[in-house]
Amino acid sequence: MLQQTTVVTVAAYFDRFMARWPDVSSLAESSLDEVLHQWQGLGYYARARNLRACARAVVERHGGAFPDDIAELRALPGIGDYTAAAIAAIAFDRREAAVDGNVERVVARLFAVREAMPAAKPRLRTLARELVPEWRAGDFAQAMMDLGATICTPRKPRCVLCPWQKDCAARAGGFAEDLPVPAEKPERPLRQGVVFWLQRGDGAVLLRRREERGLLGGMIEVPSTPWREAAWNDAEALIHAPANVTWTKLPGTVHHGFTHFPLDLTILAATAGSPPNLSWGIWARPEQFKDYAFPTLTKKIVKHALSVLPAAFLLDP
């Protein structure tokens, strides 16, 4: 949960998650819908899918106990070099370096590594491994994380409180705040799409589940066109419509920002006297939406649509 997300944001989710699934075995028995529903709003949903898959793998391959071998840890779903090293060091006291962003910053300043990220990562990992002591590797791993999070901060590092201040090359040179050298920010081109709000006579709205792989995988959404950089005209968009009915464009635009791109969505609405027979469709009334795993984007779409429909759209077919 803490990957790309702050402790303040995660804390409440963590408490609810652990109350629901207190151990690996109980999480392994959960459904993906349950896990995604508990995760909704936290973002980066691949983490939730991987967490459940990892629990199932631990139960099936290792009898419900995490392996203490770093290669076997890396083989589990969703566990990469950092997480494997952190588990090995903290849970099993293996002499492994858990290198996250905080640790990279500490090491870059300590050794004055001026190479820009992400090219500097291999060297930083090597230097970090050399620092790990022969004993209490878990305590050292957590101390390094805390040092970066509370003392060796990105801006205005509190060098006077740092136990390594006398050994820090960047502090001695007066350029600690300049390290690590950030990567150039990539362009974030705007993507656009058209959402299809299709409503039955009883008020139920057509929803669908996204593919499990990829962005927002496994989450529930209102059907839409693909998202692309070019604007959609009506003829192009309607090729992707879930039904051949008369569509009305709702006023306004739904704006959302993902890590790599911003997204603008317009909404076309329609009612279906004879709802289409769709193998992938989920029909739900707005008061039932709370029972589904909606990402923040879907919540924005629903909020916008419900706010403008009464004035702009005839709800009865």
pLDDT tens for residues 58-69?
Answer: 999 999 999 999
pLDDT of amino acid 310: 66
Confidence of residue 317 (pLDDT cuts 50, 70, 90): very low
Based on the fold, state whether residues 211 and 237 are members of the same structural domain.
yes
Per mean pLDDT, which range of 10-19, 28-37, 180-189, 273-282 is the poorest?
273-282
What's 265's domain CATH number?
3.90.79.10
Residue 312 scores a pLDDT above 60:
no
Confidence of residue 313 (pLDDT cuts 50, 70, 90): low
Task: Output 251 or 314, whichever has higher pLDDT.
Answer: 251
Based on the fold, state whether residues 170 and 40 are members of the same structural domain.
yes
Based on the fold, state whether residues 141 and 15 are members of the same structural domain.
yes
Mean pLDDT of the chain: 93
Residue 314 scores a pLDDT above 80:
no
Based on the fold, state whether residues 32 and 158 are members of the same structural domain.
yes
Nearest to 295 by CA among 40, 9, 47: 40
Interatomic CA distance for residues 310 and 85, integer angstroms: 55
**215 within some domain:** yes
Based on the fold, state whether residues 242 and 280 are members of the same structural domain.
yes
pLDDT of amino acid 142: 96
What's 50's domain CATH number?
1.10.340.30
Tally of domains within the chain: 2
Based on the fold, state whether residues 37 and 169 are members of the same structural domain.
yes
Pairing of strands 262-272, 191-200: parallel
Based on the fold, state whether residues 199 and 274 are members of the same structural domain.
yes
pLDDT of amino acid 214: 87
Based on the fold, state whether residues 204 and 164 are members of the same structural domain.
no
pLDDT tens for residues 77-124?
Answer: 999 999 999 999 999 999 999 999 999 999 999 999 999 999 999 999
Interatomic CA distance for residues 68 and 177, integer angstroms: 37
Interatomic CA distance for residues 85 and 68, integer angstroms: 10
Task: Output 186 or 270, whichever has higher pLDDT.
Answer: 270
pLDDT of amino acid 50: 95
Domain that includes residue 83, residue range: 7-178
Task: Output 214 or 303, whichever has higher pLDDT.
Answer: 303
**80 within some domain:** yes
Dihedral (CA of 139, 141, 143, 145) sign: negative
Q: What is the DSSP letter of 162?
A: -
pLDDT of amino acid 265: 98
Task: Output 37 or 313, whichever has higher pLDDT.
Answer: 37
Based on the fold, state whether residues 19 and 134 are members of the same structural domain.
yes
Instruction: Give the count of beta carbons closer than 10 Å to the beta carbon of residue 9.
Output: 14
* H helices present in the chain, as ranges: 7-20, 24-28, 32-39, 46-62, 70-74, 81-92, 101-110, 121-131, 137-146, 169-173, 234-238, 296-312
Structure tokens at 92: 């099993």
pLDDT tens for residues 251-307?
Answer: 999 999 998 999 999 999 999 888 888 889 999 999 999 999 899 999 999 999 999
**2 within some domain:** no
Based on the fold, state whether residues 87 and 166 are members of the same structural domain.
yes
**317 within some domain:** no
Based on the fold, state whether residues 170 and 195 are members of the same structural domain.
no
